[in-house]
Amino acid sequence: MLTLLFDGIAYGMLLFVLSLGLAVTMGLMNFINLAHGAFAMAGGYVLVVLMQQAGWPFLACLPAAFIVTAAAGALFERTLYRPMYGKPHLDQVLFSIGLTFMAVAAVDYVIGSQQQNVQLPDVFRHRFEFGTGAWQLGMGAYRLFIVVVCIGLALLLQALLSRTRFGSRLRAAVDDPRVAAGLGIPVNRVFLVTFAVGSGLAGLGGALGADILGLDPSFPLKFMVYFLIVCAVGGTSSITGPLVAALVLGIADVMGKYYAPKLGAFIVYVLMIAILLWRPQGLFTREGGR
């Protein structure tokens, strides 16, 4: 039972890192970016390619995944996304679906459609076990690593948001871009940096999760639903909202698959619909937020 809880937390933290970029993009630019999953997949493939072709050690590939996808995100934002900001949501949805399709097919063509195997360094293959019986807590070293990294990231981002000038500019731009621009905040640059960081986080999440979630060209399509659930339920105007939503989703998913395997994923969807009906703006949105 505790092991399951731990697994759920690890899964949830991973989802959080993956979805945070999407949440911030939606909250900041009011842009529904369904191609977010493609950035996550890109990060995973950067990891795989660097490890398998260039022989880089695992830990070095993680920052590389972040940097490469952040750079890609910055590039795309400047060239492709910016013209789409004012357009209706349907156009944005279709545009990002189009990008996703292109990414999926490109990866399939260049690398192939088989599942990618990530060989973790041996230090991550340990397992810590405490206690026995129903209350046994078994923690895989890798999952522990993921939880620690994600908590660190969450704290770092929260500090960035509340303690730095960039953070306050970002919060201002989220609340009201026009007034923020009027005050001299370079809103476009804020968007660019935020989008880049968000995509980088997705890439990092994809690299971290490649071992647990599996990595193949259909990754964006499989997991996009989960990211969207986290954003819809957690709201898009804070970091804690998506964090809590991701944890709830991760734990519910794992517990559901253990205790009621026939229902499994069904529980997650019903839960999501129920929450959205009860609070259409998400669980954590401030009143008056978008």
Partner 1 sequence: MITRRQHFATLALAAAAAASAGLAQAQSDTVKIGVILPMTGQSASTGRQIDAAIKLWVAQNGSKAGGKKVEVIIKDDAGVADTTRRLAQELVVNDKVVALAGFGLTPLALATAPIATQSKTPMVVMAAGTSSITEASPFVVRTSFTLPQAAVSIAEWAAKNKIRKVVTLVTDFGPGNDAEKFFVSQFQLNGGTIAEKLRTPLRSPDFAPVLQKVRDAAPDALFVFLPSGQGAQFMKQFGERGLDKAGIKLIATGDVTDDDQLNDMGDVALGVVTAQHYSAAHPSAMNKKFVADFQAAAKFRPNFMAVGGYDGMRVIYKALDASKGAGGEALLAGMKGQLFESPRGQVLIDAQTRDVVHDIYIRKVEKKDGQLWNIEFDVQKAVKDPGKLK
Partner 2 sequence: MNAQQKLRAPSRWRAWEIALWVLIWATPVVFAQHAALVNEIAILALFALSLDLILGYAGIVSLGHAAFFGVGAYGASLFAKHVMPDPLVGLVVGTVLGAVLGVLTSPMIVRGTDLTRLMVTMGIALVLLELANKFDNITGGADGLQGVVMGPVVVPFIGRFDFDLGARVASFYSLGVLFVAFLLLRRIVHSPLGISLQALRDNRLRVSAIGLSVQGRLAAVYTLGAALAGAAGALLAQTTGFASLDAFEFHRSADVMLALVIGGAGWLWGGLIGAIAFKVMHDLLSAFTPQYWTFWIGLFLVVLMLVGREKLFRPWTWWRRGSK
Residue closer to partner 2 (CB basis): 66 or 223:
223
Q: Which of 82, 93, 188, 214 binds partner 1 (CB under 8 A)?
A: 214
The answer to whether 168 contacts partner 1 (rule: CB under 8 A) is: no
Among 55, 178, 262, 277, contact with partner 1 (rule: CB under 8 A): 262
One residue of 58, 84, 93, 138 binding partner 1 per CB under 8 A? 138
How far is Cα 174 from Cα 194, in angstroms, rounded to an integer? 11
Q: Where are the alpha helices (DSSP H) in the chain?
A: 2-29, 36-52, 58-76, 89-110, 141-163, 165-175, 177-182, 187-213, 219-234, 240-259, 265-278
Of 60 and 105, the one with the shorter C-beta distance to partner 2 is: 105
Return the one option of partner 1, partner 2, none that residue 253 interacts with (CB less than 5 to 8 A, by type).
Answer: partner 1
Contact stretch for partner 1 (CB under 8 A) within 147-155, 165-173, 209-217, 238-246: 209-217
**In the structure encoding, which two tokens stand for residue 65, read together?**
């995944």
Q: Among 74, 42, 71, which residue's Cα sits nearest to residue 205?
A: 42
Does 58 sit near partner 1 (CB under 8 A)? no
Look at residue 254 and give the partner it binds from partner 1, partner 2, none, a contact being a CB closer than 5 to 8 Å depending on partner kind: partner 1
- The residue behind tokens 């400047």 is 78
Element (H, E) at 128: strand 127-130
Cα torsion angle, 203, 93, 245, 216, sign: negative
**Count of residues engaged in binding partner 1, rule: CB under 8 A:** 31
**Can you tell me which residue has the tokens 């910055």?**
74
Residue 70 near residue 234, CB atoms below 8 Å: no
Q: Compute the least distance from the CB of residue 98 to partner 2, in Å.
A: 3
With CA atoms as reference, report the closest residue to 41 among 75, 7, 65, 12.
65
Query: Per CB under 8 A, which region of 80-88, 137-145, 151-159, 275-283 contacts partner 1?
Result: 137-145
CB closer to partner 2 out of 33 and 69: 33
Nearer to partner 2, 71 or 97 (CB): 97
Cα–Cα separations (whole angstroms), residue 191 to 16, 80, 113, 177, 243: 20, 13, 34, 10, 22
Kindly list the residues in this chain that would bind partner 2 in the complex (CB under 8 A): 26, 32, 80, 83-84, 87, 89-95, 97-106, 108-109, 113, 221, 225, 228-229, 231-232, 262-266, 269-270, 272-273, 276-277, 280-282, 290
Residue 113 has phi, psi (to 5 degrees) of -100, 5
Q: Report residue 213 as tokens.
A: 């979630």
Whichever of 128 and 186 has its CB closer to partner 1, that residue is: 128
Kindly list the residues in this chain that would bind partner 1 in the complex (CB under 8 A): 3-4, 7, 11, 108, 113-115, 117, 119, 125, 127, 129, 134, 138, 140, 142, 211-212, 214, 218, 222, 253-255, 257-258, 261-262, 264-265
